[in-house]
């Protein structure tokens, strides 16, 4: 079994040092509870609601720099996936996710589908997420709005992803009483039609008048929510059998992948 | 506004004449209540749980034959979409949906993604659904399992579908207390990520020990369920503004279609 933990924290915009301390603490807490995979929100080191690109730049980090030492030190035996504001070698800003363990950075993924005003600040990533073969499973990392594109989620599932991990900052949208957030509904649908596990880490609180959905969820391959962080800061944690995602059949004659009509699309 | 009605009826396996009477009555009832689009379940004229292909063949209809006169007579000013067991000109059996109005057959769609034992009986359709420009909107018709394939739903949405109509027979799967059926969750997600209306007509009852989900729903372009048929036989009806589906933006800088990274997939 693989223990997944999503830390729905509330970083402070621009306060990079404080946010590194907060996130390293959240990682250490999750690892102390036995987590194998620890997920942090999108832009966890910087906050989200930048006034402009200059403000984002002042909170940007290089993935090769020492900023992530605290995450590595806290990681123990876990894989950590967390969002950060990246200053690329090319001098451009990216809305990125770091994937690392105690030994160092495994990969950096740059968000390919930028949401709303992010387009005024960040450069979109040039490559879709790859499937990372880690000690805790085959993991595809995407960031927030990426998850809404079935083109990407299907691609990584076909490429062998057992687990889709997504740091997000979901701005709160209105929804009917009793309904799950729309983004969670899409995560559930994505999990069930691809038979993968999905771990989404949202953030908590309100930032510059923007309330967040606080929609952190872990979804099993049947599409059911098996852990939530709930309201406010908190941890969602669940044990999952990632090998169950290898079987795409529902009956002897139903296989979600081979039933695709690839002759027609 | 367009009034959509889905008639969640309980046909009897093999009883074609009785089922034609039942379905024509359901169409007439919906039209009397002002429906512009009337949807019937999958295989509404024949029932679903065939023992074998011979039994299906004995309940098959030709779309050019007189069997659909009763539907045409009942259609009034509405578009009718209903599932039937088709005997093709080629002598093969198809799990099809008829689309017709008072003037006659508009189109026949043959299910492209066959579910489970359907593969032992039917030939899969050779073409994806096209978008039909009808007097009551741009409609894409698919049948049941087709809806689970984002490749198809995205395609018809990009091709201008305002409304996806799906006759289904959803076999009942277990689900956690308080959750919607997984198939409904996928319909909701499909509606919201494509900003289309989706009308799904399930069937009621139990047939040869197979209980049905009775999951008939109409979903708006935000992904919310605006009408359900509920338990047992019944009608789901809703008025929708199909022109709202033309706008794929969520904010000034978010457009669900142009935000796709077609350079990457």
What is the predicted ipTM?
0.98
Residue with tokens 């009337």: B38
pLDDT in tens, B231-250: 999 999 999 999 999 999 99
pLDDT band at B214 (very low <50, low <70, confident <90, very high): very high
**Chain A with chain B: Cβ pairs closer than 8 A:** 105
Residue among A23, A18, A152, A25 at smallest CA distance from A83: A23
Nearest to B224 among A113, A176, A251 (CB): A176
Residue A46 has pLDDT above 90, yes or no: yes
Q: What is the mean pLDDT of residues B168-193?
A: 98
The shortest CB-CB distance from A188 to any of B116, B124, B185 is to: B185
Average pLDDT over residues A51-57: 97
Closest CA to B19 of B29, B33, B28, B9: B9
d(CA B168, CA B215): 9
Q: What is the pLDDT of residues A218-250, one digit of tens each?
A: 999 999 999 999 999 999 999 999 999 999 999
* Mean pLDDT to the nearest integer, A17-39: 98
The Cα of B76 is separated from the nearest Cα of chain A by a number of Å equal to: 35
Q: Does B69 touch chain A (CB under 8 A)?
A: no
Nearest CA in chain B to A127: B264
At the topology level of CATH, where does A2-255 sit? Answer: Nitrilase/N-carbamoyl-D-aminoacid amidohydrolase (3.60.110)
Give the span between the Cα atoms of B35 and B218, in whole angstroms. 13
Mean pLDDT of A97-112: 98
pLDDT confidence bin for A65, thresholds 50/70/90 = confident
Shortest distance, CA A260 to any CA of chain B (angstroms): 7
B117 touches chain A (CB under 8 A): yes
B185 in A contact zone (CB under 8 Å): yes
Task: Inform me whether the C-beta atom of residue B192 falls under 8 Å from chain A C-beta atoms.
Answer: yes
Q: From chain B, pick out residues whose CB is under 8 angstroms from the CB of A112.
A: 261, 264
| pLDDT of amino acid A128 | 98
Query: At residue A64, what are phi and psi to the nearest 5 degrees?
Result: -85, -5
**Alpha helical stretches, state H, chain B:** 16-32, 53-58, 69-74, 150-158, 182-194
- Six-digit token string for A168: 């997000």
Return the residue in B123, B193, B227 with the most chain A beta carbons within 10 A, the one to mutate for interface testing.
B193
Q: Is A124 on the interface with B (CB under 8 A)?
A: yes
Q: Are B219 and B6 in contact (CB under 8 A)?
A: no
- Give the pLDDT band (50/70/90) at residue A15: very high
Proportion of chain B above pLDDT 90, given as a percent: 98
| Mean pLDDT value across residues B166-185 | 97
Residues of A in contact with B253 (CB under 8 A): 116-117, 119-120
Q: Give every strand in the sheet of A163-167, ordered side by side.
A: A131-134, A137-141, A163-167, A197-201, A217-219, A225-228
Extended beta strands in B119-167, E state: 131-134, 137-141, 163-167
Average pLDDT, stretch B145-173?
A: 98
Nearest by CB: B189 against A120, A186, A260: A186
Span A34-53, average pLDDT:
98
Best residue in A117, A149, A156, A158 to probe B by mutation, most B CBs within 10 Å? A149
Q: What is the mean pLDDT of residues A60-80?
A: 95
Q: Cα–Cα distance between B71 and B48 in angstroms, integer?
A: 20
Cross-chain CB nearest to A155 (options B190, B223, B265): B265
Q: Which of A128, A150, A251 sits opposite B264 (nearest CB)?
A: A128
- Please tell me the distance in Å from A134's CA to the nearest CA on chain B: 24
Of the CA atoms within 13 Å of residue A200, those in its CB half-sphere come to: 32
What integer pLDDT is reported at residue B237 of this predicted model? 98
Nearest to A223 among B127, B185, B192 (CB): B185
A55 touches chain B (CB under 8 A): no
Q: What is the mean pLDDT of residues A68-80?
A: 97
Q: Is the pLDDT of residue B65 over 90?
A: no
Mean pLDDT over all residues of chain A? 98
Q: What is the C-alpha R_g of chain A?
A: 17
Coil/strand/helix, residue B160: coil
* Beta carbons of B240 and B226 less than 8 angstroms apart: yes
Q: How far is B155 from chain A (nearest CA, A)?
A: 9
Could you tell me how far CA B207 lies from the centroid of its own chain?
19
The band of B180, judged by pLDDT with boundaries at 50, 70 and 90, is: very high
| Per-residue pLDDT tens digits for B44-63 | 999 999 999 999 999 999 99
* In the predicted structure, residue A55 carries a pLDDT above the cut 90: yes
Q: In whole angstroms, give the CA distance from residue B83 to residue B96.
A: 6
Q: Spell out which residues of chain B touch residue A143, defining contact as CB-CB under 8 Å.
A: none
Cα angle B158, B159, B162; round to 5: 85
């Amino acid at each position: 079994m693989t223990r997944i933990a999503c830390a729905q924290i509330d970083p402070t915009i621009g306060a990079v040092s404080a946010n590194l301390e907060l996130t390293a603490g959240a990682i250490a807490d999750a690892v102390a509870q036995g987590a194998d995979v620890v997920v942090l929100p999108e832009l966890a080191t910087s906050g989200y609601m930048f006034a402009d690109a200059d403000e984002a730049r002042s909170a940007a980090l290089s993935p090769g720099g020492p900023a992530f030492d605290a995450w590595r030190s806290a990681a123990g035996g876990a894989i950590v996936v967390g969002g950060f504001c990246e200053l690329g070698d090319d001098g451009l800003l990216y809305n990125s996710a770091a994937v690392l363990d105690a030994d160092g950075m495994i990969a950096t993924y740059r968000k390919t589908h930028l949401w709303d005003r992010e387009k005024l600040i960040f450069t979109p990533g040039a490559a879709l997420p790859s499937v990372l073969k880690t000690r805790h499973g085959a993991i595809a990392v995407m960031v927030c709005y990426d998850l809404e594109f079935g083109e990407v989620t299907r691609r990584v599932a076909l490429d062998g992803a057992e687990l889709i991990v997504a740091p997000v900052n979901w701005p709160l949208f209105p929804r009917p009483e009793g309904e799950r957030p729309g983004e969670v509904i899409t995560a559930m649908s994505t999990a069930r039609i691809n038979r993968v596990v999905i771990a989404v880490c949202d953030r908590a609180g309100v930032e510059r008048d923007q309330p967040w959905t606080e929609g952190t969820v872990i979804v099993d391959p049947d599409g059911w929510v098996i852990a939530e962080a709930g309201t406010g800061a908190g941890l969602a944690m669940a044990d999952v059998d990632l090998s169950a995602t290898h079987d795409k059949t529902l009956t002897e004659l139903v296989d979600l992948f081979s039933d695709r009509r690839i002759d027609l699309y």
